[in-house]
Structures are given as structure tokens and as C-alpha cells.
Amino acid sequence: MRDDEHEMLELPGDPAVQVRLRRSPRARRLSLRVSGVDGRVTLSLPQTVPLSSARAFLDRQADWVRGHLADRPRPWTPRIGGVIPVGGRDLPVVAGPRARLLPDRAELRDGRPAGPQLAGLLKAQARVRLAAACDDHAARLGRPYSALVLRDTRSRWGSCSSAGRLMFSWRLVMAPPEVLDYVAAHEVAHLAEMNHSRAFWAEVARLCPDYAPRRRWLRDHGALLHGIRFTP
């Protein structure tokens, strides 16, 4: 089976699990990965390994795959009377005369779906915080960016195009401020190094010296942010 671009296998069960195959000339063995961002399962394998061997390997690792998927946080929908993470802090969500984010709470208009209201507030806050962080890092790097775009991406927290266009997930605004700052530094560093070489990581370290724990926070907790559903 194939999707638009990738060869796929299906792990039978209830529910069935779709597994993307990634053939690579650099792969020396078969390996499985469950994304901490979106739960996508990828099986990497050498180019010469037949599909039957990949299927047999997946069958042997079925319990491992399902165990990792079961450990993922359960999706939930914010509501008035609950909380929403903003800047790494859980703010109470309360009814108010209009939708707005305050330092100690999020106010929403009652009688309207909470998710879309909160998403709008978070996107606006994300743009302010990411623009400030990117402006600061770009000035220190001495390289301007051409645009800043927000998306609700699942596969990555940010990206930088060869034209200097920076893209970020607006969900970063829910993470601690230092985590958002690291992702901004990471993408701005790509303005100098469009790769993940040692030179690139040296630029990241120059812009954000203690980036390692911030990067680790996203790996360990990013799925929590993606588990929040803002639309029905």
C-alpha cells in the first residue's frame, strides 16, 4: 500500500496502525520510531530489504509499537471551568465579557465554543512572542528573515526556507518561554546554516547556550501540547 508519497504497511488490530516505510541508503538495519509529536510510526530500512522482511519485523515488534502509542497523552478539549497551558503555566479558563488572555486567566465568552476562542487568543500571543524572539536572534546573527508564518503543524515545531521564511507551530506559545525561545533560535540559525551540521549547532549554541534542556522538554512534553483539541 502507498499514500501520496510513501510506501505503507498496516499493523492489524483494533485499531489498525498505519506504518510509513522510509528506505534509506544509509540504513544498516530495520528500526522503528514513534513520533513524540504526532504519534506517526515510521519503519526505516535499507533499500534492498524486501517488503516481506519489513512486514515480518513489524509483526515481531507489534507489542512495542502499541505500547508506545498507548503511552501517548489522551486528547482533550479545553472548556470554561478548566485550564489551558500558556507559557508553561496552567491558566484557569473562566467566563468573561469578551475573549482575552490575562496574566492569571483566560476569559472566554460563555455560550460559544471554547476551543476556537482559545485558539485565536493563543495564535495572537504566539505571533507577538515569536516575532520578538526571532527579531532578537536575527539581529544577533546579523541575518534578517523575510517572513514569519504560523501553522498548526504536527510533524515539526518550526522550519526555515532558503528564502528566509520562518514557519512555527503556534502551539509553542503554550510551552515555557525558554522553549519557545529555543525553537526561534533554532530556525533563525538556519538563516546562516541550512543544514544540521556542526556549524549549525554552533550557531544555535551561540544564540541559545543552554538549548539542550529546552530541546529535551519538547521531546518529552510536546505530545501534551498536540493532544489539545481546539476544534470539534
Report the Cα 2 to chain-centroid distance in Å.
Answer: 25
Torsion angle of C-alpha atoms 177, 179, 182, 188, degrees rounded to 10: -70
pLDDT in tens, 181-195: 999 999 999 999 999
Looking at residues 214-228, what average pLDDT do you find?
92
What is the rounded distance in angstroms from the CA atom of residue 148 to the CA atom of residue 163? 12
pLDDT band per the 50, 70, 90 thresholds, residue 149: very high
Residue of higher predicted confidence among 14 and 219: 219
pLDDT band per the 50, 70, 90 thresholds, residue 164: very high
Looking at residues 197-216, what average pLDDT do you find?
97
Residue-range domains of the chain with CATH? 8-70 (no CATH), 122-226 (3.30.2010.10)
Residue 75 pLDDT greater than 90, yes or no: no
**Burial letters for 132-171: b for 16+ Cβ neighbours within 10 Å, e otherwise?**
ebbeebbeebeeebeebebeebeeebbbbeeeeebbbbbb
Q: In terms of DSSP bridges, do strands 83-86 and 158-160 run parallel, antiparallel, or are they unpaired?
A: unpaired
What is the rounded distance in angstroms from the CA atom of residue 124 to the CA atom of residue 108? 15
Q: In terms of DSSP bridges, do strands 41-46 and 105-108 run parallel, antiparallel, or are they unpaired?
A: unpaired
What is the rounded distance in angstroms from the CA atom of residue 44 to the CA atom of residue 83? 39
DSSP-assigned letter for residue 187 = H
Peptide bond into 15 cis (omega under 30): yes
Looking at residues 29-37, what average pLDDT do you find?
82
Residue 55 pLDDT greater than 60, yes or no: yes
Which element (helix H / strand E) includes 18? strand 17-24
Please name the residue ranges forming H helices in 89-190.
Answer: 114-141, 177-189
Residue of higher predicted confidence among 56 and 34: 56
Question: Mean pLDDT lowest for which of 65-69, 99-103, 206-210?
Answer: 65-69
pLDDT band per the 50, 70, 90 thresholds, residue 33: confident
Residue 155, pLDDT score:
77
Residue 225 pLDDT greater than 70, yes or no: yes
Question: Mean pLDDT lowest for which of 5-14, 106-115, 192-201?
Answer: 5-14
Residue 67, pLDDT score:
85
pLDDT in tens, 99-144: 999 999 999 999 999 999 999 999 999 999 999 999 999 999 999 9
Contacts of residue 215, Cβ cutoff 8 Å, sequence gap at least 6: 182, 186
Burial class for 72, CB neighbours closer than 10 Å (0-12, 13-18, 19+):
middle
Residue 2 pLDDT greater than 90, yes or no: no
